[in-house]
């Protein structure tokens, strides 16, 4: 059976690593619907993956736009029933809450939280047909505040509960829903923060495993949650953080620097 997966934020970082992982896992015998707002990077990703024999559908849109989801559904229908949806796109706006304006607040929640809900609604019928799995990328900061990241933690905490609600409501349809919560991970969103060796070393000192994670390490957990080996897993939030969230008291910890994990 040819599997079909849809991934948002697919042009780089965890999204692209997940696409590469799924393509390799199925030896190119799968269909990937890739969604991102960066047209140039998305085209490059589609070309890269297309060389493996994977059937690629790609769609450029801004997930903050509620009108985008009809077109995402139409694009996905071209690949047939869905076996997995990865709601991965996210943003961080570095700011103290008192300095944040309403437009910035709304955009963080629109992309980090509302987008997962709208994506779930748009793809529900296709997931039900495929007996599929829905996975959202949250963050270790969904359970902890961090200095200078505004409403990022709040938006990811809301995402975790949203997915737990999906798991409850969709279980009768045979659809599982789970989250992964990356810790400090190399990505386009965090590259600027980790490019400085001193800041990176400061962060790594606060991670029990002693290093920044890679997108591929989170992608492997996403692939597990999408697959048959996780057939009895739903409503879970799995940390992929090198022990960061469990081992540290984050409030006031000097290892926490703006730039954000995951």
CATH number of the domain encompassing residue 102: 3.40.50.720
262: in domain: no
90: in domain: yes
Cβ atoms of 136 and 159 closer than 8 Å: yes
56: in domain: yes
77: in domain: yes
pLDDT digits (tens, 9 = 90+) for 41-97: 999 999 999 999 999 999 999 999 999 999 999 999 999 999 999 999 999 988 899
Q: Is the pLDDT of residue 6 over 50?
A: yes
Centroid of chain to Cα 248: 23
- Nearby residues of 227 by Cβ (< 8 Å), 6 or more positions away: 25, 133
Question: How many distinct structural domains can be found in the chain?
Answer: 1
Q: Is the pLDDT of residue 122 over 60?
A: yes
Q: How many residues does the chain have?
A: 262
User: Where are any strands of DSSP class E within the chain?
Assistant: 3-8, 30-36, 55-60, 84-87, 133-137, 176-182, 237-240
- Give 2 or 198, the one with higher predicted confidence: 2
Is 152 considered catalytic here? Answer: yes
> What's the CA gap between 86 and 225, in Å, rounded?
10
> What's the CA gap between 131 and 173, in Å, rounded?
8
Residue 148 φ then ψ, to 5°: 75, 15
**What is the pTM (predicted TM-score) of this model?**
0.91
- Short-list 163, 42, 176, CA closest to 114: 163
65: in domain: yes
> What's the CA gap between 144 and 248, in Å, rounded?
10
Strand partners, 182: 240
Q: Is the pLDDT of residue 144 over 80?
A: yes
Q: Which tokens belong to 257?
A: 């620097």
Identify the domain containing residue 10 by its residue range: 3-247
Running DSSP on this structure, what letter comes out for residue 183? -
Cβ atoms of 133 and 178 closer than 8 Å: yes
> What's the CA gap between 104 and 220, in Å, rounded?
32
114: in domain: yes
- Nearby residues of 243 by Cβ (< 8 Å), 6 or more positions away: 207, 208, 209
Predicted confidence band of residue 190 (pLDDT cuts 50, 70, 90) = low
Confidence at residue 189, expressed as pLDDT on a 0 to 100 scale: 65
- Angle subtended at Cα 59 by Cα 54 and Cα 64, rounded to the nearest 5 degrees: 135
- Short-list 165, 151, 159, 194, CA closest to 179: 159
Q: Which tokens belong to 60?
A: 């450029």
255: in domain: no
256: in domain: no
Confidence at residue 252, expressed as pLDDT on a 0 to 100 scale: 44
Task: Give me the catalytic one of 5, 69, 105, 152.
Answer: 152
């Amino acid at each position: 059976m040819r599997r079909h997966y849809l991934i948002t934020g697919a042009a780089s970082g965890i999204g692209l690593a997940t696409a590469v992982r799924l393509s390799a896992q199925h030896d190119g015998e799968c269909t990937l619907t890739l969604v991102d707002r960066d047209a140039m990077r998305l085209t490059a990703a589609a070309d890269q993956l297309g060389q493996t024999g994977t059937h690629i559908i790609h769609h450029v849109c801004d997930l903050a736009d509620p009108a985008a989801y009809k077109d995402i559904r139409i694009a996905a229908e071209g690949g047939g029933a869905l076996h997995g949806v990865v709601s991965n796109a996210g943003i961080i706006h570095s700011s103290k809450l008192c300095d944040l304006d309403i437009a910035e607040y709304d955009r963080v929640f629109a992309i980090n939280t509302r987008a997962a809900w709208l994506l779930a609604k748009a793809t529900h019928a296709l997931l039900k047909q495929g007996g599929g799995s829905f996975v959202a990328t949250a963050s270790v900061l969904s359970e902890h505040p961090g200095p200078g990241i505004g409403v990022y933690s709040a938006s990811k905490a809301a995402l975790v509960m949203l997915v737990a609600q999906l798991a409850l409501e969709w279980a009768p349809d045979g659809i599982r829903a789970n989250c992964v919560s990356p810790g400090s991970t190399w990505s386009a969103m965090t590259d600027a923060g980790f490019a400085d060796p001193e800041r990176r070393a400061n962060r790594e000192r606060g991670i029990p495993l002693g290093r920044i994670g890679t997108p591929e390490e989170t992608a492997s957990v996403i692939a597990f949650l999408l697959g048959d080996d996780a057939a009895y897993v739903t409503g879970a939030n799995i940390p992929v953080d090198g022990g960061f969230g469990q081992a540290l008291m984050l409030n006031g910890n000097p290892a926490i620097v703006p730039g954000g994990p995951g």
